[in-house]
Amino acid sequence: MPFQNLMVFTGNANPKLAADVAQRLGLPLGRADVGRFSDGEVSVEIQEHVRGNDVFVVQSTCHPSNDNLMELLVIVDALKRASAGRITAALPYFGYARQDRRPRSNRVPIAAKLVANMLVAAGVDRVMTMDLHAEQIQGFFDIPVDNVYGLPILLADVQQKHLEKPIVVSPDHGGVVRARSLAKRLECDLAIIDKRRPKANVSEVMNIIGDVTGKDCIIVDDLVDTAGTLCKAAAALKENAARSVTAYCTHPVLSGAAVERINESVLDELVVLDTIPLTDAAQKCSRIRQLSVAELLAETIRRISKEDSVSSLFID
């Protein structure tokens, strides 16, 4: 190994997931005091020896996005100044990923690229993330990026249901590749929701491409935010005589009135991963179920540290 001991640190974004990952690696979670000064500035003190070590910082940049991103940057800077051998930013959820381009030449930022620049400037040597909203974001970095896929976890859960007539549904044209991959493994048909989005976070379902009559629909997406698209898609599928509608989404952003919409919708169940911790309201919602990604992330970290193949985790 080119570096010394493997270590895992975290901030305050998702400490439970980080602790679960460290436990599966057979390691104690790295000791660091990550807090705030009285004026709100991020305060970090690394409380153990890291010189020459292979360090992973597990920190999703979820809500509050700016606070968690700043924590990550300051932790990385502290580790860099403490002479860590290699620093990998492990972001189970990469915030700002939806701002990856300038649509129709609007005067807007490409914030995903800005975040990439900030991570590299802080001293990150490589990035590990999960189900990027747009895979081309990997190209925003000039350092190695490992994009881990949550599909194996979601696939295993779907298979345990033993659905009689499953059909995988993409909530939009952009998610067809992800949906097709799941449909291929389930050996079932694929349907597509055709929708129009007049403005951000507002969607209107227009048509369903495919026959869902009497079938168990499996909507698959990388994240669920306000849940407006998801609930309208479920309603459209039920109106077209679908027998059941279950959604599988990697990142439970669940902002605004998302949980309330899910409770009031015709969606049978929403299954998410723990890349983002659920709010109290989401935890109490009987239609939302969360699966753990700790084992998958731990195995990925183990392989990166040992310079083994990561892609082989996702090849049939």
Q: In terms of DSSP bridges, do strands 54-58 and 6-10 run parallel, antiparallel, or are they unpaired?
A: parallel
Does residue 232 carry a catalytic annotation?
A: no
Dist CA 243 CA 294 (whole Å): 33
Dist CA 242 CA 219 (whole Å): 12
On whether the CB atoms of residues 9 and 75 are closer than 8 A, the answer is: yes
Which tokens is 22 given?
Answer: 């460290």
On whether the CB atoms of residues 88 and 128 are closer than 8 A, the answer is: yes
Residue 157: CB partners within 8 Å, gap ≥ 6?
Answer: 248, 271, 291
Catalytic residue among 113, 161, 195, 215: 195
What interhelical angle do 15-24 and 294-305 show, nearest 10?
A: 60
- The dihedral built from the CA positions of residue 212, 179, 235 and 210, taken in this order, carries a sign that is negative
Dist CA 148 CA 128 (whole Å): 7
Secondary structure (3-state) at 51: strand
Dist CA 62 CA 237 (whole Å): 30
Amino acid at 146: D
Residue 170, φ and ψ in degrees, nearest 5: -90, 130
Which tokens is 94 given?
Answer: 């990469």
Amino acid at 66: N
Amino acid at 290: Q
Dist CA 270 CA 265 (whole Å): 11
Provide the annotated active-site residues.
195
